[in-house]
Structure 1
Amino acid sequence: MKINKTLNLPALEAVKTARKSIENVVNYTPLQYNARLSEQFGANIFLKREDLQPVRSYKLRGAYNKIKSLFNEGKISDGIVCASAGNHAQGVAFSCKQLRIKGTIFMPVTTPKQKLEQVEMFGGTYAEIRLVGDTFDASKKAAFDFAETSGAAFIHPFDDVQIIEGQATLALEILEQQKEKSDYIFIPIGGGGLASGIATVFKELSKETQLIGVEPKGAPSMKTSIHNGVNTELSEIDGFVDGAAVKRVGDLNFEICRNVLSDCISVDEGKVCDTILQLYNKEAIVLEPAGALSISALEQYRDQIKDKNVVCIVSGSNNDITRMEEIKERALLYKGFKHYFMVKFPQRPGALKDFVLYVLGADDDITHFEYTKKNSRETALAIVGIELSNPNDFEGLKQRMQNLGYFESYLNDNPDVLNMLV
């Protein structure tokens, strides 16, 4: 998807001012060369490690810049309020404690416990958490209502010029750190604040750099909006990539991104999970789903980035360890190792033993089995999850199941059923 190049960007001087405002709070994060990814893709791959910020995400840049500006202007006598799925909340909480400002933070009920605990830790007595709704958008509405009734200043997570300017300071660092010009930058997109900020700087100082926005497949709000030519609210989203799952991007962010992004693509959540596991197992880097989006997109650009200098924005590492089993499951499903079936079992002794002997491969494993004998019919249905040692063995497994009369249906193609199992 190619983008209209008419520019409408915040002022570069304002970004430089924001940098001075936040320099004593925000870390100058490393731009790290990654040898494994570089060899894998035949390119020079660098990771901008925003997961190493004090709140483990880039969100501190924009939040502190906005709140500090209001503080300097004397506009926060009634405190501040925000809505966030996690990382913006932590940035706001951290800023509240630094500036000794009372903040009220609205978060979805579905927010991982780890992120709630982090907000409490960073904000201390200065941040109050209120859990409302199942999505960011529901929390945002509650926060807007609170701002109107209380007089608290609303700190938007992305649709705000000073938020964008704060996020843009990250791009100034990349330009200083790179030894050669970056040919491509892959940027995760939730509401669009980070992409807007990076675009602000690079379209002024490095026009040749290709800016690629990356969204989760289950929440492609920016990609859809650019395709439609108008900011479009999605009717429903998959909230798994919680740091980037919003139904509607910011109006300001949409206008900037559609004018300056070279492309906007989406990545399957299963691919994101596989990237998280690869980074953890091979580099000991712990990423949250949104933090792995940019790296997950490299496969789609394999041909274009060959022999090029590429930067991936690693946006955050606030991952709850209790989610790792689900992450592993989604990765196995995506790569074709894990399969779920509805299986017809003859109601006789030894039926399961025959299934194991004559259907499964020597190194395959049953990882899920649901069956209850409730009647005296000749056959009964069971839900069976099978993990293959080789994903190429799937067709053979299915064929044996059909030939021996066990096969009833394949559940991986049924999202409603699969979501109940995973």
Structure 2
Amino acid sequence: MTDDLVSKEDVLKAYKVLRTVVNQTPMQHDAYLSQKYHANIFLKREDLQIVRSFKLRGAYYAISQLSEAETENGVSCASAGNHAQGVAYTCHRLGIQATIFMPTTTPAQKIDQVRYFGNGNVEIKLVGDTFDESNAAAHVYSVENNLTFIEPFNDRNVIAGQGTIAVEIHQDLVAEGETADMVFAAIGGGGLISGVSSYIKEAMPETKVIGVESLGAPSMKVSLEAGEVTTLTDIDKFCDGTAVATVGSLTFKHCQKNVDDIIIVPEGQVCGTIIDLYTKQAIVAEPSGALSVSALEQYKDEIKGKTVVCIVSGGNNDINRMAEIDERSLLYQGMKHYFIVNFPQRAGALREFVNDILGPDDDITKFEYTKKVNRSEGPVLIGVLLKNSYDIEGLLSRLEKFDPHYIAVNENSKLYAFLV
């Protein structure tokens, strides 16, 4: 399309620089997923990279290509966490100072890791609630202080560095005597899939490249459908590593040319994948890192009998988020429900509810009630965990007889956020 697109040769040049710097992460055959989807599925484990994400590749290669004059005053970047860790590691290794901007909503685990990898070479500034706000502030600061800004995705060298993942995938497939029918990769700003697809479309032209975005931040899909880079007015920041409102102009061009399809995955489904990866395969994936595996469910008919590679792009998951992840998974599966129910203010009302309204396998997970004086009834916030999602029909039918005016809290996101 244009001369500024990254080529296979650009990626191979980056590979020669990075081969002694980054881990060549394993591409593991996954027996569980292969059996589940009747396919031959491999996981490219970038969660096992030095900084626990692929971002080190692009950051190191981009910084390594700068001149001494460009690094004299230091470099800067903006990141939701993983790019920041890649820049921090690189700057410590190369002896360069870095100023790193991160959103105030960045998980503490990622902030701590940036400090650790920077080891004295990094100053962190928490600005804005989203990546885009932090990114804007970082650009202004960089100009004012004459710092070289290291783009997180919209840069040829960054894209080429990320593309080295595809070189390793290709090498491992050849070693296994395999060819890949499809490669799934997450999309945030688009650097990963731009680099991977640039190499694959030349070196493995028979392989389809499938991008995956979260339902709350489908910026690349919206842009491709519009035919131009389009900024989202509102995003869900749960998949923080890919919660980008505006994709890059350069990555947009790469995706226009090289990406065969983009899948949108709900955040609740991603949560189920994170739990599945952890409990069945002992893989700790961050939300964005699990996107590629989550997409298999929507592609299950197309991948039967095929060889598929999913890039697990990162494993920087804050353990403190696991309760939220479990909750969102149960809500998505229709297993957990919250209601506001009016209870008669008389002895035995709760016993009646438990005996007559709840099913034999239903479990109360939350119950909040304060008895009011001079009232015949009072509201109760109650959480119910079902054994099977289809049990909800019977529960709602019995619940309506108990209180025809009950409120299903799950259906109102603001009410849920306030009460639960």
Structure 2 residue identity aligned to 1:299: E
Deviation at 1:418, TM superposition (A): 2.2
The CA distance in 1 between the partners of 2:54 and 2:419, in whole Å, is 34
Do structure 1's residue 304 and structure 2's residue 309 form an aligned pair?
Answer: no
Match of 2:149 in 1: 154
SS in 2 for 1:62: helix
The CA distance in 1 between the partners of 2:3 and 2:342, in whole Å, is 61
Match of 1:202 in 2: 200
The CA distance in 1 between the partners of 2:125 and 2:407, in whole Å, is 44
Q: 2:127 aligns with which of 123, 126, 132?
A: 132
SS in 2 for 1:265: strand
Confirm or deny: 8 A CA contact 1:343 1:406 kept in the other structure: no
Which runs of no fewer than 5 residues in structure 2 stay unpaired? none
How do residues 228-377 of structure 1 correspond to structure 2 at under 5 angstroms?
228-377=226-375
Q: 2:114 aligns with which of 102, 112, 119?
A: 119
The CA distance in 2 between the partners of 1:201 and 1:99, in whole Å, is 27
The CA distance in 1 between the partners of 2:405 and 2:327, in whole Å, is 23
Match of 1:28 in 2: 24
* 33-42 vs 400-409, greater mean Cα deviation: 400-409
Deviation at 1:8, TM superposition (A): 7.0
Q: 2:70 aligns with which of 60, 63, 75?
A: 75
Deviation at 1:351, TM superposition (A): 1.5
Match of 1:170 in 2: 165
SS in 1 for 2:70: coil
How do residues 87-126 of structure 1 correspond to structure 2 at under 5 angstroms?
87-126=82-121
The CA distance in 2 between the partners of 1:83 and 1:173, in whole Å, is 27
Deviation at 1:415, TM superposition (A): 1.7
Confirm or deny: 8 A CA contact 2:51 2:86 kept in the other structure: yes
1:327-352 CA-to-partner distances (Å, cap 9, x unmatched) read 00001111111011121111222222
Structure 2 residue identity aligned to 1:198: V
Match of 2:401 in 1: 403
Deviation at 1:371, TM superposition (A): 2.5
Confirm or deny: 8 A CA contact 2:5 2:253 kept in the other structure: no
1:351-386 CA-to-partner distances (Å, cap 9, x unmatched) read 222111111112211112232334522222222111
Deviation at 1:406, TM superposition (A): 6.0
Deviation at 1:404, TM superposition (A): 2.2
Which runs of no fewer than 5 residues in structure 1 stay unpaired? none
The CA distance in 1 between the partners of 2:2 and 2:208, in whole Å, is 15
Deviation at 1:154, TM superposition (A): 0.5
Confirm or deny: 8 A CA contact 2:5 2:250 kept in the other structure: no
Deviation at 1:301, TM superposition (A): 0.6
The CA distance in 2 between the partners of 1:237 and 1:69, in whole Å, is 34
The CA distance in 1 between the partners of 2:137 and 2:301, in whole Å, is 45
Q: TM-score, normalised by structure 1?
A: 0.96
Do structure 1's residue 413 and structure 2's residue 405 form an aligned pair?
Answer: no
Match of 2:33 in 1: 37
Deviation at 1:283, TM superposition (A): 0.9
SS in 2 for 1:105: strand
Deviation at 1:73, TM superposition (A): 4.9
The CA distance in 2 between the partners of 1:48 and 1:172, in whole Å, is 12
1:304-342 CA-to-partner distances (Å, cap 9, x unmatched) read 111000000000000000000000000111111101112
The CA distance in 1 between the partners of 2:198 and 2:262, in whole Å, is 16
The CA distance in 2 between the partners of 1:323 and 1:421, in whole Å, is 19
Q: In percent, how many aligned pairs have the same letter?
A: 54
Match of 1:64 in 2: 60
1:212-237 CA-to-partner distances (Å, cap 9, x unmatched) read 10001111101111111111100000
SS in 2 for 1:303: coil
SS in 2 for 1:368: strand
Confirm or deny: 8 A CA contact 2:103 2:131 kept in the other structure: yes
How do residues 2-17 of structure 1 correspond to structure 2 at under 5 angstroms?
9-17=5-13
Deviation at 1:420, TM superposition (A): 3.2
Match of 1:184 in 2: 182
* 94-103 vs 9-18, greater mean Cα deviation: 9-18
Q: TM-score, normalised by structure 2?
A: 0.97
The CA distance in 2 between the partners of 1:21 and 1:56, in whole Å, is 19
Aligned residues: 417
Confirm or deny: 8 A CA contact 1:368 1:383 kept in the other structure: yes
The CA distance in 2 between the partners of 1:101 and 1:421, in whole Å, is 48
The CA distance in 2 between the partners of 1:230 and 1:348, in whole Å, is 63
Do structure 1's residue 49 and structure 2's residue 83 form an aligned pair?
Answer: no
Q: 2:214 aligns with which of 210, 213, 216?
A: 216
Deviation at 1:265, TM superposition (A): 1.4
Structure 2 residue identity aligned to 1:123: G
The CA distance in 2 between the partners of 1:116 and 1:369, in whole Å, is 36
The CA distance in 2 between the partners of 1:420 and 1:47, in whole Å, is 38
SS in 1 for 2:69: coil
Structure 1 residue identity aligned to 2:365: T
SS in 2 for 1:125: coil
Confirm or deny: 8 A CA contact 2:5 2:156 kept in the other structure: no
The CA distance in 2 between the partners of 1:369 and 1:254, in whole Å, is 49
Give the alignment's Cα RMSD to 1 decimal: 1.5
SS in 1 for 2:406: strand
Structure 2 residue identity aligned to 1:60: L
